[in-house]
Structure 1
Amino acid sequence: MPPHNLFFLLESKQIKALIFDLDGVITQTARVHAHAWKRMFDDYLRQRGQREGKVYEPLSIATDYRRYIDGIPRYDGVRNFLLSRSISLPEGTPTDAPGKETVAGLGNLKNSYFHELLQQGGVEVYSDTVAFIKVMRQRGYRTAVISASKNCQAILAAAGLEALFEVRVDGVLAAELRLKGKPDPAIFLEAARRLEVEPAEAAVFEDALAGVEAGKAGGFALVVGVDRTGQAEELSEHGADVVLQTIPNPTMKNPNPNQVQKQDGKNLPSALHNIKELLQGKTPAVFLDYDGCLTHIVKDPDKAILSEGMRSTLQQLAEVCPVAVVSGRDRANVEKLVQLKNLYYAGSHGFDISGPNNMHTEPGGAAAAIPALDKAQAELNERLKEVEGALVERKRYAIAVHYRNVAEDQVSQVLEVANDVLSKYKELKPGPGKKVLELKPNLDWHKGKAVYWLLEELHLNKPGIIPLYIGDDLTDEDAFAALQGQGVSILVGEHDEQTAAGYRLESVEEVQVFLEALTHQLKKE
């Protein structure tokens, strides 16, 4: 499998050290912490409300915990949350008895509840992070763990993870050194100092909003937001350079171009007449391009409207197997065009992915290319404004220069301008297509990697599942090549080059007939 773009970023930024938050990134004790906080605060607010003859709103894990408590020192969390309820208490001291009506007393009670819950349920770890750390240590990366919790060492010991980290900066050490809590970067900077690296040589892995703010404020080379709870957009807004829902498998590799078999698309067997053969008795995970596959290619991209018949076909197929639309269009645009909530959407060639249950992530790291895209867009608009039929279509993570409607004798001019603008920005690279030249982030990421990412994320890499990709464009060839020997690739129509696909469908209409037949076959089994 191809590597996630994370590894490209680590190498390109010459990162030497990796600093991991504990809860929510390495261990799954964040939920235990959250429930301990809720039990403590809800009891306290209820008792206080009875004394005062008023009703206090209980703690909400979804909002209050993230906003006031998650990722910051315990007593700061007590103080922050109480302030949100207009309550002020004496500070007390760390030796206050659990439950005493002070900031320290309530914090100590929460800690008692936490240990009680921990003993009942043990310590669960995120296996993806642990596997990642082990491989990266073998590759020579230095590693540290940070935590606002004073229970960090006990949790690592219980999980058998102490040996994975050269440095531990936790709540105990932070108190001794009087380090400020997140969003102040002090705890991360101390970890970097003890690892003997500069912030510009280290990456931070965080799941808390305050944590990604701290990583950004500390000037670290890369801040990776780890989204375990459906807050991808918030993590990006607070400073994450990349947001992942799972840490990728470091052993994934790109397919060797010399081993990819290609042939003339006209010679491919029909997928429509070979459904049983291509499924091999397995359940498919279906990936489809949009333009030229689900809808006909039209002169105006905004008029590529999905038919109600195709929409109904997709909806029924998604009821019996996973279905994803993988497009060069913006994710929000293709999602709006398809209008189905039970599908997954990978827009901008996979840089922006969403799906059911509020899934949303931007795994390719393309945000860093936005300034270059903005400048390139302005120059392209200016230099091509007089060329009739030329269309500069800005997407979130790409610019598509369409020349389908340009007079034949002016096409070379459009391509010359586009390539000249492209040459000015090392952050961008060309992406060929049918009557279009795209300017895309110069990153090791494409539709094939988006398919692999979804297979990993949705736990579809198993013997009973076969990935099936349908596309018509040159950009779909990356997915065709990635799936050779592991899945089924179907070319719709033809393009000007040889293809890595194994089957063919003649048209959009045949795609719909094929999907309907596929649905019928799956319902019979």
Structure 2
Amino acid sequence: MNKILENALNRKSIKALILDLDGVVTQTAKLHANAWKHMFDDYLLQRGKQDKKEYEPLSIPLDYRQYIDGIPRYDGVRNFLKTRSISLPEGSPQDEPGKETVAGLGNLKNQYFLELVKQGGAEVYTDTISWLEQQRRLGRQTAIISASKNCQAILRGAGIENLFDVRVDGVVAEELGLKGKPDPAIFLEAARKLRVLPQQAAIFEDALAGVKAGKAGNFALVVGVNRGNAANTLLHNGADLVISNFTDNRMETTIHRTEAQELPSALENNLLKEKLNGKQPAVFLDYDGCLTPIVKDPDQAILSDEMRNVLRQLADVCKVAIVSGRDRQNVKQLVQLDNVYFAGSHGFDISGPGGMHTEPGGASAALPALDASAKVLREKLQSIKGTLVERKRYAIAVHYRNVADENVEQVKQITEEVIAQHPELKKGLGKMVIELKPNLDWHKGKAVLWLMEALELNEQVTMPLYIGDDITDEDAFATLQDRGITILVGEHDEKTAATYRLKDVDEVKQFLDQLLHTLTYHG
């Protein structure tokens, strides 16, 4: 038994379990992925000859997981074709497999999938089956959900149909007109059929769309099932916890999130003494909104002499790094200190004293896509007053702080359309800004861990301390939640993984003064 999972279920008083089929209960996810690749690669090759251009084949690690996995079949066709700037007629479910319509391509994929199932059958995850049998003996209800219309046939073929009280699949969703994931409709229907509230049910998902749907439906517990190497992605997309197996205690880090207003102040008495507990701090800080107030023009975010002075003194007694979404060179010029480390572009570009410079995230491959996207965004957004397209080395920031309210949605829509055309890129959110970033598993939290290792800061004697204000800092808060001090400045639009709070830049200065005093006189 996975004791950590069982404790979470008991703590939340869970009465019902709602599990996704592919990747959680059965091992058909690989069959689905291969069927999609077979269908799309053949189609793109034929389409390329017709259009006299070369289309990039479907990438299972990038395209399948982001645009198709866990999503209704025809939606998956539309999503992927959009990334290749291809638009097709909808057609109808009765279209012949292979007809050049959304439905025709979707039907061809389904044909390929069924052929693969017949060849090898659908294997089950034995850890899931064993655990489900145990949970049913404990009296918990169970439901299976799937976007696939082949769900019942797969369950019967695997001999596990009797393990579920309720089935809500692609057939049921079509009959009831339910939207596909990331909309929570399919989960909510399963809860309704089980006669439980979402607050009494737990969701088990291996797909990003499913995790997002579980959170959107306000279910008591959303468990990510990591069958591959997607633990961080599942956690950062809303999973309350991530497991790699149902029957042992291999558990990824659980991230606790709360409302910013509920956090205790980092200025409270004895915080530093109690938390540091004899360890030496390593201080990581965001720039905008943390060391300087947020301003309409990013070029006007000037560091005060007082803040610069305390940073200089602090860097003389402990390691200090500025971790920013700005270009490394830009933030370095603004700070003007040579005893501080700089991680620019959300940690893709890092430098420090002694000539240190490295780019650990592997983002250089995304440069052509960033170049092309910046050009298109400037052309399409130039007529919308107040929009600022800021090109950084490894990111593009589309600022809409100065855009009229009635035009904000148009800015967002245009930006997302450009992102969809480049699978090498992904969307990042901030305060009144949308960013286009390399579609890589790298973020501020990983940059902090990289610096800790590179600087040989052993966690037995070093306490990482991270201060940030934005949604982009949440990756660092989550990464350091159980291993350091994490402080949110102000608040943003989401719950936070930080454990303490400061109101504004003035309180950041006050806190850094306290830290400097603690290290200088009590270190």
* Shorter-chain TM-score range: 0.5 to 0.7
How far did 1:339 drift?
6.0
CA distance in 2, matches of 1:84, 1:384: 46
CA distance in 2, matches of 1:365, 1:139: 32
Separation of aligned partners in 2, 1:28 and 1:301: 46
TM-score, structure 2 length as denominator? 0.52
CA shift, 1:237, in A, is 2.3
Partner of 1:300: 280
SS in structure 2 at match of 1:79 = helix
Provide Cα deviations, 1:36-92, integer angstroms capped at 9, x if missing partner: 001001111111111221111111111111121110111111111112211111111
Checking the alignment, whether the CA contact within 8 Å between 1:6 and 1:365 is kept in structure 2 is no
- Unaligned stretches of 5+ in structure 1? 253-296, 306-329, 349-360, 392-403, 408-525
Aligned to 1:223, the other structure's residue is in SS state strand
Alignment check: 8 A CA contact 1:189 1:218 kept: yes
| Separation in structure 2 between the aligned mates of residue 333 and residue 81 of structure 1, nearest angstrom | 34
Instruction: Using the TM superposition, give the Cα deviation of residue 31 of structure 1 relative to its aligned residue in structure 2, in angstroms.
Output: 0.6
Q: Distance in 1 between matches of 2:232 and 2:279?
A: 33
Q: Which residue in the other structure is 1:76 paired with?
A: 75
1:424-503 aligned within 5 A:
none
One-letter identity of the residue aligned with 1:126: Y
Q: 2:190, 2:213 → 1: CA distance?
A: 13
Change beyond 3 A, Cα 1:369–1:93: closer
Question: Take 1:251 and 1:242, find their aligned partners in 2: how far apart are those partners?
Answer: 11
What's the counterpart of residue 374 of structure 1? Answer: 500
Q: Output the CA distance in 1 between the equivalents of 2:139 and 2:95.
A: 45
Given the superposition, is the C-alpha separation of residues 335 and 54 from structure 1 closer, same or farther in structure 2, using an over 3 Å criterion? closer
Aligned to 1:137: 136
- Alignment partner of 1:11 is 2:10: yes
| C-alpha distance in 1 between matches for 2:8 and 2:234 | 18
Q: What TM-score do the two structures reach when normalised by structure 1?
A: 0.52
Residue 247 of structure 1: aligned partner: 246
Q: Superposition pairs for residues 203-352 of structure 1, below 5 Å?
A: 203-249=202-248, 300=280, 337-338=452-453
Match of 2:85 in 1: 86
Contact 2:19/2:25 (8 A) holds in 1: yes
Corresponding residue of 1:182: 181
Give, in angstroms, the shift of residue 198 of structure 1.
0.5
Distance 1:332 1:5 in 2: 29
Cα drift, residue 369 of structure 1: 10
Report matched runs for 1:387-406 at 5 Å: 390=518, 406=522
Cα deviation code 1:12-50 (max 9, x no counterpart) = 111111100000111110110000001001111111111
SS in 2 for 1:243: strand
The C-alpha deviation readout for 1:443-498, integer Å capped at 9, x for no partner, is: xxxxxxxxxxxxxxxxxxxxxxxxxxxxxxxxxxxxxxxxxxxxxxxxxxxxxxxx
Distance verdict in 2 for CA 1:117–1:51, change over 3 Å: same
Change (3 A) 1:390 1:130: farther
Asked whether the 8 Å contact 2:244–2:250 carries over to 1, the reply is no
Q: Which has the higher contact order (CA 8 A, sep 6+)?
A: 1
Q: 2: CA distance between counterparts of 1:251 and 1:371?
A: 22
- Listed one character per residue, the Cα deviations across residues 95-145 of structure 1 (whole Å, up to 9, x for unaligned) are 111111111111111111001111122212222222221111111111100
What is the CA–CA distance in structure 1 between the aligned matches of 2:46 and 2:165, rounded to whole Å? 45
- Partner secondary structure for residue 203 of structure 2: strand
Aligned partner letter, 1:159: A
Q: Deviations over 1:356-399 (max 9, x none)?
A: xxxxx98x9999996672249999998997699757xxxxxxxx
Residues 280-320 of structure 1 deviation map (CA, whole Å, 9 limit, x = unaligned): xxxxxxxxxxxxxxxxx986355999xxxxxxxxxxxxxxx
Cα separation, 1, equivalents of 2:516 and 2:133: 57
Counting matched residue pairs gives 310
Mean Cα displacement is larger for which, 161-170 or 233-242? 233-242
Partner secondary structure for residue 249 of structure 1: coil
Q: Displacement of 1:334 after TM fit?
A: 6.6
Matched, 1:61 2:48: no
Cα distance change on mapping 1:210 and 1:372 into 2, 3 Å = closer
The two structures, once aligned, show a CA RMSD in angstroms of 4.0
Q: Kindly, what percent of the aligned residue pairs are identical?
A: 58
* Structure 2 match to 1:40: 39
Q: Deviations over 1:171-210 (max 9, x none)?
A: 0111111111111110000000000000111110111111
* 8 Å Cα contact 2:33/2:64 also seen in 1: yes
Secondary structure, counterpart of 2:133 in structure 1:
helix
Q: Which amino acid aligns with 1:247?
A: F
Q: Distance in 2 between matches of 1:100 and 1:336?
A: 53
C-alpha contact (below 8 Å) 2:70/2:209 kept by paired residues: yes
Which secondary structure does the structure 1 equivalent of 2:500 belong to? helix
Q: Secondary structure at the match of 1:188?
A: helix
d(CA) in 2 for partners of 1:110 and 1:236? 30
